[in-house]
Amino acid sequence: MKNKLNLKALTFDTGGTILDWHKGFKKAFEEVKKNNLYNYKCSELANEFRRISLEKITKQDGRELINFDQAHWYAIDELSKSRNIAFTDKEKQHISMHAPSNLKVWDDFKEPYEVLRQKYFCISFTLLSNRLVYLNSKKNQINWDLILSCESLEIYKPNIEAYLKVAKLLQIPPENCGMVACHSFDLNAAKSAGFKTIFVKRTKEWGEDTKIHIDGDYDLVVDSFTELTRIL
């Protein structure tokens, strides 16, 4: 199947597909819990925090855009109110700013990525803010050929125009671009824009209770980046 997809560029979702946000946020809530007497599971709080912030960023109407740092601030405020947890400003800062700036890549990513980078133009096409994608890429030594944050594009996924704008900036037809992600909402929009689609299963993205939902027909579905390098 080598190069049957006729790809020239691979665009990567970064938060979730490349970075393990769950472990990072869970750790932050565990650290904060030492000073609080809440009874909630830290894994549960991490997932709720993620759901709120992801919804804030993906359901924008285009009038007053926020970036992912702002979405995290809104999310911790909402979580604090809904769970009746009196986080201090310092604790909110730790969860909303420090934790997402210090995420780790999944174990299967780095070596296979370097193999893919020898063959394709590799781009971080991400919902993450410029600050977050640059800090995490630097700390994890990810050498992107290009970073295209939706913050800079001023159009957020899953708006189809975001994918078309990326293809235009790359000067590569959408049909020669591959979207690599573990989220169906991302891949379905990419497919509508004409991108090839590659679903990477992340069996622990939401912790131990993660359930994989493949809600679309994609060009490739793989268990890991190691498998992806064998195919591409």
Which has more confidence, 60 or 159? 159
Q: Please state the φ and ψ torsions of residue 92, each to the nearest 5 degrees.
A: -60, -40
| pLDDT given at position 81 | 94
The pTM score is 0.94
Evaluate if residue 64 carries a pLDDT over 90: no
- Name the strands in the sheet holding 220-222, side by side, starting at the edge strand that comes first in the sequence: 146-149, 121-126, 9-12, 177-181, 196-200, 220-222
Q: Please state the φ and ψ torsions of residue 94, each to the nearest 5 degrees.
A: -60, -45
Mean pLDDT of all residues belonging to the chain: 94
The pLDDT confidence band at residue 133, using thresholds 50, 70 and 90, is: very high
Q: CATH 1.10.150 residue ranges in the chain? A: 21-101
Q: CATH 3.40.50.1000 residue ranges in the chain? A: 9-20+105-231
CATH of domain 9-20+105-231: 3.40.50.1000
Residues in the chain: 232
- The number of helix segments (H) and strand segments (E) in the chain equals 10, 6
Residue the block writes with tokens 């689609």: 197
Percentage with pLDDT > 90 across the chain:
88
Q: Residue 158 and residue 160: Cα distance in Å, rounded?
A: 6
What is the mean pLDDT of the segment spanning 56-68?
A: 89
pLDDT, tens digit, for every residue of 147-200? Answer: 999 999 999 999 999 999 999 999 999 999 999 999 999 999 999 999 999 999
The pLDDT confidence band at residue 61, using thresholds 50, 70 and 90, is: confident
CA 24 to chain centre: 13
pLDDT, tens digit, for every residue of 75-110? Answer: 999 999 999 988 999 999 999 999 999 999 999 999
Query: What CATH class does 21-101 carry?
Result: mainly alpha
